[in-house]
Amino acid sequence: MGEKVVAGPFDLSDRQRHRDKLRQCLTVLERLLEEKRFDRPKNLMGLEIELNLAGPDGMPRMMNAEVLERIASKDFQTELAMFNLEVNIAPHRLDGRVFDRLAEELRTSLAYAHRKASEVDAGIVMIGILPTLAQDDLVSANLSDVDRYALLNDQIVAARGEDFVLDIDGVERLVCRSGSIAPEAACTSVQLHLQVTPGRFADVWNAAQVVAAPQVAVGANSPFLFGHELWRESRPPLFQQSTDTRPPELMEQGVRPRTWFGERWVTSAYDLFEENLRFFPPLLPICDDEDPLEVLNAGGVPKLAELVLHNGTVYRWNRPVYDIADGVPHLRVENRVLPAGPTVTDVVANAAFYYGLVRALAEESRPVWTRLPFEAAAANFDAACKHGIEARLEWPRRGRHSGTTQVDAANLIRDELLPLAAAGLDAWGIEPADRDLYLGVIEDRCRLRTNGATWQAATFHRALEKGLGRDAALAATTRRYGELMHLGDPVHTWPVGLPEPAPLA
C-alpha cells in the first residue's frame, strides 16, 4: 500500500471501469509469463520491519510524524497508526556474509532512529504487539495522517457495514468491538522478500506456505493485546478480524476473508493473482492512465497499477509481488508471517532460517507439499500461532512411509528442518560462520523452548507474583523488554523477570 492515494468518493462507473482494468492487467500478466519477459533473479532478498514508538514508561507514543521529521531518512516511513514506523533495508544479494552485513545495517539504523525518537521522549520498540496498547489507543483518530490510510479505512468499514468484532480465545479470551481498522495497527511484522523466476515461483511459494508454521512456532512474539494474554502469536487472528469485510452472514456462506492463509497449493504466480480477482471485490477502485495491453504490444513494460494496488489489499501471509526494477519486471514472494523483534540478532536468525529452508524445500525431488494436505499446512499455522514453541504440527512421515503424523514443533525444527536450512544456506553461498551463528540461535530457542512470547509471558507472571497489578506488570514487562532489546543479546539468553531494585547506599 505504498501508492500515493488521494481520498475521494467512488461511483458505480469507477468500480466497473476498475474491474475491467483489473481483468486487462491479468491478461497482460498472463502474456508476460508466457513470453518469459521477466528478469532473471539475482539472488536478491529484501527486508522490511514495522516498529512501535513507546515512551520511557513503556506506553505508546502517537508521534510518528515528529519522529520521522527528526530521523529524516527515506529508509523510514509511516505505518498505519501514529505509534508505528517502518524501516526498509535495501535489497541484498544472498551470499557470503550477507546476514552479518544485514545485522550491522539494522543495528545502525535502529540505534539512530532510537536516538532521534528520544529527543521527543519516545523510543523504538521492535515487538509483535506492544503489550501496553489499550483499546482507546486503537481508534481512527490515531491513524497516521496519510490519505491512503484514511481511504482504506473508509472503504473497509463501508464494505463491512458494521463494527468489527474481535474475539480471540487463548490463555484468556478477548471480546471487543471497533468502528475502524485501527486495531490492525497493533500488528507489527517483519516482511522477507525473495525474487524468483516465474518457473520457480510456485515451488518457492508452496515451500513458504509449508514453513509458515515452523517460522511462527520458533519466532512467536505477540502474546498480549488490550491487557489480555491470548495466543503466543496473536497477530494473525487480530489482523484477520480487524480487516474482515464480511458480516456474519457472509462468513456463514463461506466467503473468504481478505486476510487468509489460502486454500490450495499453486502451479504458477498467475494462480494467486487470478484468485485475487475472482474472490475479492476491489477496495480502492482507482484507475491508472496506462493502457497495459498497448504498452505490452509496443514492447514496453506495463506497470499493471490496478493489479498491484488490488494485490496490496489482499493480505496473504505469503503474498505474490509484481514489480519493476531498472525497467525490467520481476516476481517476488513476500513472507509476512513473522512478528517484529525481539532483537536484531533474532530477526536476522529468523531470516536465515527462512531463506535457507525455503531454498532447500523448493528444490527437493519429492516436495513436502506433495505429501502434506494443504488443509494440514493451514491447521499447522493456526496451531503454531496459538501455542508457539509448544505447538504440535502435522508432518509427513520420514522415509518410505506414507501419510503424516503429529510431531513436536521444536523437535521437528531441531532434527529435520535446521539441517535442511543449513543445506539451503550452503546452496545460496552463505559463509559457514554466518550460517552457524544464526541457525545456532534458532537451535538454542528450540533447545530451551524459549522465544519472545514465552519470555514476555513468564516475565509478566513474575511481575504479578511480586504484587504488581496487570497494567503495571505489562508496563514493567514492556520497559524491561525495551532495555534488553537495545542491549541486543538474543532472546533465548534473556533473564526472566524484572531486575531487582538497586539497594540504597
pLDDT mean over 303-327: 95
Amino acid 500: pLDDT: 78
The answer to whether the beta carbons of residues 191 and 48 sit under 8 Å apart is: yes
The CA distance from 316 to 331, in Å, is: 16
pLDDT mean across residues, the chain:
94
- Residue bearing cell 528442518: 417
pLDDT above 90 covers a percentage of the chain that reads 87
Strands (E) across 74-226 are located at: 76-78, 84-93, 123-125, 164-169, 173-178, 189-196, 224-225
Nearest to 411 by CA among 214, 252, 253, 230: 214
84-93/76-78 β-pairing: antiparallel
The CA distance from 448 to 81, in Å, is: 35
pTM: 0.95
The CA distance from 132 to 125, in Å, is: 12
The answer to whether the beta carbons of residues 229 and 427 sit under 8 Å apart is: no
pLDDT mean over 340-363: 98
Query: With bands split at pLDDT 50, 70 and 90, how would you rate the model's confidence at 505?
Result: low
Map 348-389 to HEC letters: HHHHHHHHHHHHHHHCCCCCHHHCCCHHHHHHHHHHHHHHHH
Q: Classify the C-alpha dihedral 458-138-125-4 as positive or negative.
A: positive
Nearest to 58 by CA among 489, 473, 501: 473
Please write the tens of the pLDDT for every residue from 37-58. 998 878 899 999 999 999 999 9
pLDDT above 70 covers a percentage of the chain that reads 97
b/e map 294-322, b = 16+ CB within 10 Å: eebeeeeebbbbbbbbbbbbbbbbbbbbb
Nearest to 46 by CA among 23, 75, 19: 75
Please write the tens of the pLDDT for every residue from 157-214. 988 999 999 999 999 999 999 999 999 999 999 999 999 999 999 999 999 999 999 9
Close Cβ partners of 374 (under 8 Å, ≥ 6 residues apart): 209, 262, 263, 264, 265
pLDDT mean over 210-219: 98
The CA distance from 324 to 197, in Å, is: 13
The answer to whether the beta carbons of residues 266 and 333 sit under 8 Å apart is: no
Element (H, E) at 321: strand 318-325
Q: Is the pLDDT of residue 502 over 70?
A: no
Close Cβ partners of 397 (under 8 Å, ≥ 6 residues apart): 403, 404, 405
Query: With bands split at pLDDT 50, 70 and 90, how would you rate the model's confidence at 12?
Result: confident
Query: With bands split at pLDDT 50, 70 and 90, how would you rate the model's confidence at 66?
Result: very high
Amino acid 392: pLDDT: 98
Query: With bands split at pLDDT 50, 70 and 90, how would you rate the model's confidence at 151?
Result: confident
DSSP string, 28-73: HHHHHHHTT-SPPP-SEEEEEEEEEEE-TTS-B---HHHHHHHH--
Q: Is the peptide bond before 503 cis (omega within 30 degrees of 0)?
A: no
**351 or 8: whose pLDDT is higher?**
351
The CA distance from 31 to 302, in Å, is: 11
φ, ψ of residue 339 in degrees (nearest 5) = -75, 160
Q: Is the pLDDT of residue 339 over 90?
A: yes
Map 74-100 to HEC letters: CCEEECCECCEEEEEEEEEECCECHHH
Nearest to 22 by CA among 302, 336, 325: 302
Query: With bands split at pLDDT 50, 70 and 90, how would you rate the model's confidence at 4?
Result: very low
